[in-house]
Structure 1
Amino acid sequence: MSVFTTADYTTDKLTPGQRRVMLAAVDADGQLPDGANQRVLNNIPETWARTDAAAGGRFLTAEGRAALAPLGRFSLLARANPETGSLPGTTGHSDMLALVRDGLAVLQDSDGRPVPVADRWERGNSLRITERGRRLVGMPLTAPEFAERHPVGSRAMWKQKEGEPARPVAILGWPLANGTVYVMPVGTHLSYAACRDRPVPAEQIRPAPQVPTTTVADRSDERRNTMTDRKPAPTLDAELEALRGLAAAVVKPMTPGAETWEQVKTLEERATAGYELAERFAEFDQQATADRRAPKAWSIGRELSEEQVAAELEKRPELRALGGMVATLAQMGMAPWQMANLVRKVQAHKQAGAEES
């Protein structure tokens, strides 16, 4: 597939017939449909759709894709959140009408139902990219392997040139067909221009480094032994103290009059400490929530009648995989939502094993 980049921007206008045929080609991996009107096919120049004798057909070029989406609309589609499909920022009225007309985006309400473009200003309505829009800008239809290492919204390090310090960034999308991924630089003391999202080569993105365990303030020998000798996990109170130490490292003051490299190093240490703080706080919050709900929700087993089991199966169809084990697991103290999580994890593990084989 030819890769559409912003350098291929064109102001040439298509006729309605050419647009219909070329949009249909986007849905067919770039190949012009054979059953289209021959006069329309003859009027599409080779610069937009090149003949491939070996493959037996004509295929869209980068210039042809650029003719379908001017630069501004391409940027909107390329910046769409690949997981939710929502387009960022404010879309002009004419661009919105064109994207919806061409099937590159759809206006939906908060429940995901399509709504007329006249209801654009209703609360909760927003534009979302379609499968055709993803194909046009080279956005994967499903999460690629790269996204498993750097999920959308996660933090990573962007090293633009060798010898320069890596910059912390937030991942905004999946890698596009042209090898770039949209990121947002993060950190303190950034200028307005530096805080803008931008496409960068995917090979320049690296995982965010983890803070060494020995450098975290107030981490006791007991906590270190827990990670190495598999001693019992620390209590919630002990973990809270460790989180307070991490928070102190995040807001560590900068030395007045320090050299630039020293300030950059301090910022990187703050960033890495912040990443660990966010991850460990999420685990702490889950443990604290489970501990608080334990006496009521799952610590005490309960007997389920056949009617209650049937009601749970109707509410959570994934529990049907457990068969008659639902009542047994309930007696052991598991709540229905825990059973559902167990089933989903097993199914994900099987699927991952099937894909590897």
Structure 2
Amino acid sequence: MFTTTAYTTDKATPGQRRVMLAAVDADGRLPDGANQRVLNSLPESWARTDVAAGGRFLTTEGRAALAPLGRFFLLARANPVNGCLLGTTGHSDMLALVRDGLAVLRDSDGRPVSVADRWEHGNSLRITERGRRLVGMPLTAPEFAERHPVGSRAMWKQQEGEPAWPVQILGWPLADGTVYVLPQSTGLSYAASRDRPVPAEQIRPAPQTPAPTVTSRPDDRRNTMTDRKPEPTLDDDLEALRGLAAAVVKPVTPSAETWEQVKALEERATAGYELAERFTEFDQRATADRRAPKEWGISRELSEEQIAAELEKRSELQALGGFLATLATMGMAPWQMANLVRRVKAHQEAGADES
């Protein structure tokens, strides 16, 4: 991270800029074949001499002379997967980044766009390999990206004993060990809700809340014609949502220890995210069922083998004869047919007793 804002691109001559940009491509080492007068004009604060390595290397102040803080942070916030620069780019900053080869304009199809044609095509700035090297962004995905991909949720825990904050991962760890994240907690102030660099070692995996189990019912409503496990119904999902909602609003005991209260708050936050995601799925399923009743799968065509299996399983269905397949097509489940037969027989027996 740069420690000064005093340096601007105006303080470096075009020749000095060319030499220092070439050094960025060479991992910070100034090229030996550069113009000696230009090399001599570079102050030691920009490029220090390393006698052991036999050359001069860019310092943080030299890199700051290539990109002021505004442009540096713009490059550091770039999406490492597709290279897109996030945020608003000023016109002069855009021209400077393209001029120095730190970024490139590309259209929606990924083809480079010249600065002169930038108004005729939809374009966006993408960070280049030189830009990645300048801000210390890895060129390929590190191991951190496997555990915490860009866009995934994680927990940011600054110190032991303090609550962990849910965040969204915005990039890969930079050379200084920081990674940009976006806090996801509700009720944060505007300043606290902005993206920020945090130490990568403070990032923890987001806890996974086990899905609430629904009490199994032995009746035939939970079974299909085959012995496959049925998909949870909307009633089952509603019960699960109620359980998550109860966990979210579960009160915290004021007399509990601090670590117990922190743990309870973390569990409530995790349950809240799970509740939001599952409610979205529940709303989509309920909307689809409400708008497309014919797709509910109520009516079914029974094969001869399925009819024989049902007759063997429920002897009372023998009274229906050939109507069994017809009633199934109309939407009645086998257990409903069996109940209908039992009620008819009970009614007949009650009438015979009265006579």
Normalised by the shorter chain, which TM-score bucket? 0.5 to 0.7
Contact 1:48 1:62 in 2 (8 A): yes
State the distance in 2 between where 1:240 and 1:32 align.
Answer: 69
Give CA deviations for 1:147-190 in whole Å, capped at 9, x if unaligned. 11011000000011221110100000000000000000002222
State the distance in 2 between where 1:146 and 1:244 align.
Answer: 37
- The match for 2:28 among 17, 21, 30 is 30
State the distance in 1 between where 2:180 and 2:101 align.
Answer: 23
Contact 2:241 2:278 in 1 (8 A): no
State the distance in 2 between where 1:137 and 1:169 align.
Answer: 22
| Cα distance change of structure 1 residues 140 and 281 upon mapping to structure 2, 3 Å threshold | farther
| Cα distance change of structure 1 residues 208 and 255 upon mapping to structure 2, 3 Å threshold | closer
Contact 2:78 2:86 in 1 (8 A): yes
Query: What corresponds to 1:110 in structure 2?
Result: 108
Match of 1:6, SS state, is coil
Query: What corresponds to 2:273 in structure 1?
Result: 274
Match of 1:236, SS state, is coil
The AA in structure 2 aligned to 1:140 is P
| Cα distance change of structure 1 residues 236 and 149 upon mapping to structure 2, 3 Å threshold | same
Contact 2:248 2:268 in 1 (8 A): no
Give CA deviations for 1:57-76 in whole Å, capped at 9, x if unaligned. 11111111111110000010
- The match for 2:230 among 225, 235, 238 is 235
Give CA deviations for 1:208-252 in whole Å, capped at 9, x if unaligned. 1111x3xx4443469xxxxxxxxx984333699358725862696
The AA in structure 2 aligned to 1:269 is R
Structure 1 stretches of 4+ moved >6 Å: 255-258, 279-282
Deviates more, 1:54-63 or 1:271-280: 271-280
The AA in structure 2 aligned to 1:161 is Q
State the distance in 1 between where 2:19 and 2:88 align.
Answer: 29
* Identical amino acids, percent of aligned pairs: 67
| Cα distance change of structure 1 residues 188 and 20 upon mapping to structure 2, 3 Å threshold | same
State the distance in 2 between where 1:35 and 1:151 align.
Answer: 41
Cα deviation for residue 122 of structure 1 reads: 5.3
Kindly indicate whether residue 172 of structure 2 is the aligned counterpart of residue 174 of structure 1. yes
Cα deviation for residue 201 of structure 1 reads: 0.5
The AA in structure 1 aligned to 2:270 is A
1:12-91 alignment runs, 5 A limit: 13-91=11-89
Match of 2:192, SS state, is helix
Contact 1:155 1:275 in 2 (8 A): no
State the distance in 2 between where 1:6 and 1:218 align.
Answer: 52
Give CA deviations for 1:308-347 in whole Å, capped at 9, x if unaligned. xxxxxxxxxxxxxxxxxxxxxxxxxxxxxxxxxxxxxxxx
Query: What corresponds to 1:265 in structure 2?
Result: 264
The AA in structure 2 aligned to 1:75 is F
Kindly indicate whether residue 219 of structure 2 is the aligned counterpart of residue 219 of structure 1. no
Give CA deviations for 1:74-123 in whole Å, capped at 9, x if unaligned. 01000000001001111000100100000000111111111122444556
Match of 1:91, SS state, is coil
Query: What corresponds to 2:200 in structure 1?
Result: 202
The AA in structure 2 aligned to 1:245 is A
Match of 1:170, SS state, is strand
TM value normalised by structure 1:
0.66
State the distance in 2 between where 1:164 and 1:124 align.
Answer: 46
Match of 1:106, SS state, is strand
Query: What corresponds to 1:96 in structure 2?
Result: 94
The AA in structure 1 aligned to 2:201 is E
Query: What corresponds to 1:162 in structure 2?
Result: 160
Query: What corresponds to 2:188 in structure 1?
Result: 190
The AA in structure 2 aligned to 1:17 is G
State the distance in 2 between where 1:251 and 1:97 align.
Answer: 54
Give CA deviations for 1:187-215 in whole Å, capped at 9, x if unaligned. 2222211210000001111001111x3xx
TM value normalised by structure 2:
0.67
The AA in structure 2 aligned to 1:77 is L
State the distance in 2 between where 1:27 and 1:239 align.
Answer: 58
Deviates more, 1:15-24 or 1:242-251: 242-251
State the distance in 2 between where 1:193 and 1:242 align.
Answer: 37
Contact 2:241 2:279 in 1 (8 A): no
The AA in structure 2 aligned to 1:241 is D
